[in-house]
């Protein structure tokens, strides 16, 4: 099933130059664009909500850090070759032959997205996260289960941080006030 989904998506590559460009861009930089609303929230000068928004940004950063740490552990314990290593695929971006599972891009995207689900920007971030997942398969560097696994890791990391947040809230408040 994973291979069928992979080939169904990856076989679309190479037919439309403009779509290939967009997918390459999303595959490489999608999660970076998810950081932009958080950077805006951090530096926005809405005094009445500045502290609350900075705390949300810190919580999202903690969730993203946890998600990438979990991915590192999983990738070290379980090596899954990337699709282009053992198969003839339409390979649109250069990539190392490191472990494919779980996807760091998907984990980062969903940790940030899930952490902001109470804000109005959540739906836009969700769409960008989903497009990033599809793009990673489209360009030939992940199987669908890799990006789904990454998304699950990102969401779980966000939920863990959310659950632990009351324990670190006093430190996070001081940090939010100290940083520029």
Name the nearest CA neighbour of 29 among 110, 125, 135: 135
Question: What Rg, from alpha-carbon coordinates, does the chain have?
Answer: 18
Residue 23: what pLDDT? 94
Residue 111: what pLDDT? 96
Residue 48: what pLDDT? 60
Structure tokens at 60: 């999202």
Residue 156: what pLDDT? 97
pTM score above 0.85:
yes
Residue 46: what pLDDT? 66
Domain that holds residue 145: 2-178
Residue 180: what pLDDT? 64
Please report, for the domain that includes residue 144, its CATH number: 1.20.144.10
Domain tally, the chain: 1
The segments of the chain whose pLDDT lies below 50 read none
């Amino acid at each position: 099933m994973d291979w069928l989904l992979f080939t169904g998506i990856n076989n679309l590559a190479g037919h439309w130059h403009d779509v290939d460009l967009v997918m390459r861009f999303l595959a490489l930089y999608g999660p970076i664009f998810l950081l932009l609303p958080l950077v805006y929230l951090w530096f926005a000068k809405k005094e009445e909500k500045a502290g609350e928004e900075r705390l949300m940004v810190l919580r999202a950063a903690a969730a993203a850090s946890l998600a990438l740490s979990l991915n590192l552990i999983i990738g070290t314990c379980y090596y899954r070759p990337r699709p282009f290593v053992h198969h003839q695929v339409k390979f649109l971006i250069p990539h190392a032959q490191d472990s494919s599972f779980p996807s760091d891009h998907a984990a980062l995207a969903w940790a940030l997205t899930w952490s902001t689900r109470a804000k109005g920007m959540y739906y836009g971030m969700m769409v960008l996260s989903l497009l990033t997942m599809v793009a990673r398969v489209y360009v030939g560097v992940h199987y669908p289960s890799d990006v789904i696994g990454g998304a699950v890791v990102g969401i779980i990391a966000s939920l863990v941080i959310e659950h632990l947040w009351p324990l670190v809230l006093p430190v996070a408040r001081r940090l939010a006030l100290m940083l520029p």
